[in-house]
């Protein structure tokens, strides 16, 4: 199958599985797993932060970070379209007693500075205490403009807010912008990074930040059920992914550009945007379900909606892009 639904669908191959099988392990809740410790130290170093923490998912990593920065009755400013607001089950509110203050994202994924400033509440017993600004990079595949990130985080600091980056795909941002992970992470107090997306590991996220933030997050991780034991077998996959699958993200970006070009040649398809490893396109409503079924019969897994997302990754080759674009062409040519 050619699976274009998400970059989470990659499966570990021989080299990664061998690294997992060979991993030295211990009990990570006791701080004894050498492979987890090595992953945490490696990611902290690459991102220019003091410390790192290995967590099972990006959702838990974002939540542990929010809970490390904010207490009960505090508030975080976040994008209306952000994963850490929209796609995490309301965890900050439900489990953290933290109130989200969502702001409409601009077309480039940023949160307009004037809207951030207006959302920061004065100190007054009527209001939740605004404590944190959370941004996302990449967001909808788009790399946040570096100048914007500098301005937004400076505004946050001036107003006494901490800053968190949901960097689930910060590696895509680094490769696409040719900036180091350290440069992209420098403006933030904490960054959460996923290994189960484009990097191709089966499981795992790392949260990085100051020692104090990471120690607080470690307590929350345990409470949230993320204290794993011989998790070095998973951390080994993440270390392997960082070493072998980072630079090659450029191929995914090229493949997404190729996919966008291919779809753009089809009259019935409107390409809305493409950036890094994602393409967004619109299909006539009446063709969505039949086209999705047509593609599935040809071994292609997608979600064809009025506004569809196609994601390239390690398990999608340039030839696969050709197969997909041709299948869509054939459907409309009948
Ligand atoms: C995938 C993703 C996460 C975390 O998702 P998990 O499935 O919990 O690992 C967080 N933020 C963004 C932007 C993501 O795409």
Same domain, 254 and 171: no
pLDDT in tens, 280-318: 999 999 999 999 999 999 999 999 988 899 999 999 999
Q: What's the total number of domains in the chain?
A: 2
pLDDT in tens, 46-101: 999 999 999 999 999 999 999 999 999 999 999 999 999 999 999 999 999 999 99
Which one of 211, 227, 244 terminates a domain? 244
Same domain, 78 and 130: yes
SS3 278: strand
What is the number of alpha carbons within 13 Å of residue 155 lying toward its C-beta? 20
Beta carbons within 8 Å of 310's beta carbon, 6+ residues apart: 4, 256, 259, 278, 279, 280, 281, 302, 324
Give the number of the atom of ligand 1 that is nearest the alpha carbon of residue 88: 8
Q: Is the CB of 99 under 6 A from ligand 1?
A: no
Same domain, 25 and 97: yes
pLDDT band with cut points at 50, 70 and 90 for residue 231: very high
Q: Is the pLDDT of residue 169 over 90?
A: yes
Same domain, 289 and 180: no
Same domain, 178 and 257: no
Q: Is the CB of 194 under 6 A from ligand 1?
A: yes
Could you tell me the two tokens for 32? 């004894």
**pLDDT score of 307:** 87
For ligand 1, atom 14: residue with the closest CA: 168
Same domain, 132 and 270: no
Q: Is the pLDDT of residue 184 over 90?
A: yes
Same domain, 234 and 259: no
Same domain, 229 and 187: yes
CATH assignment of the domain containing 310: 3.90.1150.10
Q: Is the CB of 136 under 6 A from ligand 1?
A: yes
Q: Is residue 5 part of a domain?
A: no
Q: Domain of residue 308: give its range.
A: 248-333
Same domain, 40 and 165: yes
Which one of 228, 244, 260 terminates a domain? 244
């Amino acid at each position: 199958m050619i699976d274009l639904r998400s970059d989470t669908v990659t499966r570990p191959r021989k080299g990664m599985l061998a690294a997992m099988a060979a991993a030295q392990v211990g009990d990570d809740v006791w701080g004894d797993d050498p492979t987890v410790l090595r992953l945490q130290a490696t990611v902290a170093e690459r991102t220019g932060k003091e410390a790192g923490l290995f967590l099972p998912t990006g959702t838990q990593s974002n939540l542990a970070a929010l809970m490390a920065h904010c207490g009960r009755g505090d508030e975080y400013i976040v994008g209306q379209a952000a994963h850490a607001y929209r796609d995490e089950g309301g965890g900050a509110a439900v489990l953290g007693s933290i109130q989200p203050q969502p702001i409409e994202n601009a077309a480039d994924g940023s949160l307009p500075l004037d809207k951030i400033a207006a959302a920061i509440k004065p100190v007054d017993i009527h209001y939740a205490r605004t404590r944190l600004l959370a941004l996302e990079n990449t967001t909808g595949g788009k790399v946040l403009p570096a100048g914007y990130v500098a301005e937004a985080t400076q505004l946050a600091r001036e107003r006494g807010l901490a800053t968190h980056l949901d960097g689930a795909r910060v590696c895509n941002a680094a490769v696409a912008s040719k900036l180091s992970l350290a440069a992209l992470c420098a403006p933030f107090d904490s960054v959460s990074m996923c290994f189960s997306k484009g990097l191709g590991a089966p499981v795992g996220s790392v949260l990085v930040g100051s020692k104090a933030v990471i120690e607080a997050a470690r307590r929350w991780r345990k409470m949230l059920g993320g204290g794993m034991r011989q998790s070095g077998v998973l951390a080994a996959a993440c270390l392997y992914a960082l070493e072998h699958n980072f630079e090659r993200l450029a191929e995914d970006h090229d493949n997404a550009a190729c996919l966008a070009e291919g779809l753009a040649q089809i009259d019935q398809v409107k390409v809305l945007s493409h950036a890094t490893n994602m393409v967004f396109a619109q299909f006539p409503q009446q063709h969505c379900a039949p086209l999705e079924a047509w593609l599935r019969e040809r071994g292609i897994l997608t979600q064809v909606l009025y506004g569809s997302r196609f994601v390239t990754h390690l398990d999608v080759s340039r030839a696969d892009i050709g197969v997909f674009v041709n299948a869509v062409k054939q459907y409309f040519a009948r």
